[in-house]
Structure 1
């Protein structure tokens, strides 16, 4: 499995830092998954960045976890925050999420992830592969700027007045 997060950080370290800061600015974000019938489901989620990678943790048996087990595609929208400031812009990540199992190496990963939850509860933990990162912001009160990163492609920047 290609680690798209590492590819993103290597290819666009400045944008990667901005994206991570936007997600760290607030605890809760919005995750979009696909239901069994193909329609979208949106849910609140706490995103976690560890070791330059994006991890998604969910309660055991949650519908969003079951969606990802069936179809790993997801979109994650950073919480825009209160008011209209949106320091760092509007950020969205698209990709695929793969569940961490209970094997020897995976059990250690899950144990590290759950350290902060007392008492520990059953949960699903997903590793992510990024297929797209989009940041939208206003520059000089004049331009709407959209930055788009996809694996294996150069950063694309669109400016609109």
Structure 2
């Protein structure tokens, strides 16, 4: 099955309110959780820092980290914003799925390091989004799930 992908700027243009909430959720904490696929296809979860810069969502990683090697082999990932402590984060639970494209171009990496100072050397991946999901509780009554996929308006589901 083929998935349509978009970069972060496409989500911002299509659904600015959702994009703002997602960015705020990721900005609330430094470390988040990424799921990648191991050689045998089983999932691997790892800690990760992310950045929203220049209309892109970036994933930076230490050299030859297992998650970077996983993404080189199979670019699919799922990213979970740190939920923090307590019963539910302000803004809800946020997840992003997509494909990671490794950046080898030195000029593009230099543009990234103008604003972020990663330890050298590092792997840098630009993301192609296939899905963004926000889940939250509304009025202490409804579980609300907002789902965005490239080229499709946000779909909102409510459960009691």
TM-score when scaled to structure 2?
0.92
Q: Deviations over 1:138-161 (max 9, x none)?
A: 001110000000011121000001
- For residue 89 of structure 1, what is the aligned residue in structure 2? 92
Q: Secondary structure at the match of 1:20?
A: helix
**Structure 2, unpaired ranges of 5+:** none
Q: Secondary structure at the match of 2:44?
A: strand
**Matched pairs, number:** 156
Off by >4 Å, runs of 4+ in structure 1: none
TM-score when scaled to structure 1?
0.91
- For residue 100 of structure 1, what is the aligned residue in structure 2? 103
C-alpha distance in structure 2 between counterparts of 1:114 and 1:122, whole Å = 11
C-alpha distance in structure 1 between counterparts of 2:56 and 2:19, whole Å = 11
- For residue 76 of structure 1, what is the aligned residue in structure 2? 79
Shift of 1:85: 4.2
Q: Deviations over 1:43-80 (max 9, x none)?
A: 00001111231000000111100100111000000000
- For residue 160 of structure 1, what is the aligned residue in structure 2? 159
C-alpha distance in structure 1 between counterparts of 2:15 and 2:6, whole Å = 14
**Structure 1, unpaired ranges of 5+:** none
- For residue 113 of structure 1, what is the aligned residue in structure 2? 112
